[in-house]
Chain A
Amino acid sequence: MNRLSWFNVTSLTLGFAFLYLPMVILIIYSFNESKLVTVWAGFSTRWYGELIQNEAFLDAAWVTIKVAVTSSTLATVLGTMAAYVLVRGGRFLGRTLFSGMIYAPLVMPEVITGLSLLLLFIGIGLDRGVLTIVLAHTTFSMCYVSVVVSSRLMTFDRSLEEAALDLGCSGFDAFRLVTLPIIAPAVISGWLLAFTLSLDDLVIASFTAGPSATTLPIKIFSAVRLGVSPEINALSTIMIGIVTVGVISASLVSKQNSLRQQRDEQAAARTA
């Protein structure tokens, strides 16, 4: 069954070349000496130097990180609550509307979400800036968090919670001491997902950001609209590097954790 025919080898090679070559080319050209981005003129880190001195980019990066940390943390709290309500909440008035509002933002075109939030902020007279971007990002990323967390809650052995309640825990203590540690990996990946979604978002941020706050994607977009630029290549390379290191180390940690868990379970089975 596991024969890899020449056809399969070719599709894997071509497929992954298609997925990765564009980024590899971008990274290589970020070390190009020439200002003309398509002509190779020798290796240089010149554009990284210019990037570090570009205060507009640094300011935008700082705003982006502030927005991403705040909104993903808020989204994780709200999304975990929402997941708990969906999976454990039982029946309540307006449950269908609630689950609809959780799933709808996942498929909503960003232009519509952005437009509607902007019209709300203007309607209630809220000045656009960091706060409005945080509110917007929290709203759509809490839905992603709640999908990730609720899929973990569904496969969770409920009798563990019931045991804690029987042994005298309050509802909140049972959640804090039993449920939360078990669903923690899902909560953490929900936070990471919310964080990257916020870092990445251009469209919703463009609608909800005012002149006082510019995020990095807005800055990049307005720069690349005019064409390819070596500074943006350097910036992209840094961002790709951070993400790659982050994702690979996260997956190594989770692999180690699952190995340890397996060992513990085997040990427990042996002593039992």
Chain B
Amino acid sequence: MQRLALIAVPYAWLLALFLIPFVIVFKISLSDIALAIPPYTPTLKDGFGPFFSALDFENFAFLASDDLYWRAYVSSLRIALVSTFLTLLVGYPIAYAMARAPEEWRPTLMMLVILPFWTSFLIRVYAWMGILSQEGFLNQFLLWTGVISTPLTILNTNTAVYIGIIYTYVPFMILPIFAALDRLDGSLIEAAEDLGCSRFQAFWLVTIPLSKNGIIAGSFLVFIPALGEFVIPSLLGGSGTLMIGKVLWEEFFNNRDWPVASAVAVILLLILIIPIILFQRNQQRQAEDEA
């Protein structure tokens, strides 16, 4: 009895507030827009027969035919891929140096990496608006040092979006790589060097392969949220920045086209399923390796 209640309460909660909402999104993605409340048709009030016969794939056909959506999906994928790679380039040296730091420093360094994660995401993105704008801190600094003579336009471009994604997600890259490097047995690298490897060769042939799991985990942890990102492209990106999270938001709040917004969500979900499954597999394999 007790066990049943223990299972039933969280189960029912998740069914009602996680699974059923998705079924509704899927259903509305097959509906038509209507000038009514709620602004789509059919609803279950029409009865079961007409309800099912009125559902169709029209919204998906619309998404496929309008190249705005295509370009938004492609450009989200590109931005997410490029920024994942850049985050790896920024995060790896930090994780590497943390793992080489004296042992008593490491907990403090870890805390310094985690601390920004507890600070508001919105504020961390906002902080860059003041730095990257035309008369912002970065431009003032570069003009003062004489590196540039006219201010750079960075805010409201894709460059700003990349900087924003790297900045907010780099802790997710650092932590798994650090965890992998921290466990790495230093004598392996010494052995490689004794056997004639240069430092760089030892790094490339020993350290990188042994931190592979951390690199993969970190990359997924950056790529998956970056793909559906909304706050960063809408604050740092410009009108030319196409990202699917932003398109969905605008379709819903500005155009009030719920069926199309739902279809956009369904496709985004389908795209995300592949990296999510790959990520789960990687985590499982890692857990098995450790066991």
Residues on A lying within 8 angstroms of B by beta carbon are 1-5, 7-9, 11-12, 15-16, 18-20, 22-23, 25-26, 29, 37-39, 78-79, 81-82, 84-85, 89, 92, 94, 97-98, 101-105, 107, 109-112, 115-117, 119-120, 122-123, 135-136, 138-139, 142, 146, 171-172, 196, 199-200, 202-203, 207, 217, 220-221, 224-225, 227-228, 232-233, 236, 239-240, 243-244, 246-247, 251
Contact = CB atoms under 8 A, between A and B. Distances in A.
B235 A142 contact: no
B122 A202 contact: yes
A105 B228 CA distance: 13
Given A92-B7, A228-B130, A109 B268 contact: yes
B115 A247 contact: yes
A16 B112 contact: yes
Given A29-B130, A112-B228, A240-B120, 15 more contacts: A12-B109, A15-B90, A18-B90, A78-B13, A94-B11, A97-B19, A109-B225, A109-B227, A112-B248, A112-B269, A200-B122, A220-B126, A236-B126, A236-B127, A240-B123
Nearest to A82: B10
Contacts of B167: 18-19, 22
Interface stretch (B57-65, B66-74, B258-266): B258-266
Interface string B162-188: 000001001100000000000000100
B290 to A, nearest CB: 13
Chain B residues touching A, range:
35 or more
Contacts of B268: 109, 111-112
A98 B10 CA distance: 9
B38 A122 contact: yes
A200 B119 CA distance: 8
Contacts of A172: 2
Interface in B130-150: 130-131, 133, 135-137, 140
Contact of B113 (A19, A136, A251): A19
Main secondary structure of the interface of B (DSSP, over half): helix
Contacts of A81: 6, 9-10
Interface string B18-41: 111110110010000000001000
Contact of A112 (B25, B103, B276): B25
B18 to A, nearest CB: 5
A81 B18 CA distance: 17
B2 A217 contact: no
A112 to B, nearest CB: 5
Contact of B248 (A4, A26, A111, A200): A111
13 contacts: A18-B90, A22-B124, A82-B14, A98-B11, A107-B224, A107-B272, A112-B268, A115-B25, A116-B24, A119-B21, A202-B121, A220-B122, A228-B130
Nearest to A203: B230
Contacts of B133: 38, 227-228
A220 B229 CA distance: 18
Contacts of A136: 17
Contacts of B86: none
Contact of A111 (B6, B102, B245, B279): B245
A122 B24 CA distance: 11
A116 B265 contact: yes
Contacts of B113: 19
> Which of A107, A225, A240 is the most central at the interface, judged by chain B CB atoms within 10 Å of its CB?
A107
A232 B126 contact: yes
B102 to A, nearest CB: 5
A244 B2 CA distance: 41
A138 B10 CA distance: 11
A79 B11 CA distance: 11
B101 A12 contact: yes
A263 B112 CA distance: 27
B116 to A, nearest CB: 6
B129 interface: yes
Interface string B83-123: 00000001001101110111100000101111110111111
B19 A101 contact: yes
Nearest to A102: B14
A189 to B, nearest CB: 11
> Which of A8, A81, A112, A220 is the most central at the interface, judged by chain B CB atoms within 10 Å of its CB?
A112
Contacts of A19: 112-113, 116, 167, 170-171
Contacts of A116: 21-22, 24-25, 265
Nearest to B104: A2
B91 to A, nearest CB: 8
A113 to B, nearest CB: 8
Given A11-B94, A38-B130, A217-B122, A117 B248 contact: no
> Which of A8, A29, A172 is the most central at the interface, judged by chain B CB atoms within 10 Å of its CB?
A8
Contacts of A207: 252
A228 B129 contact: yes
Contacts of A122: 38
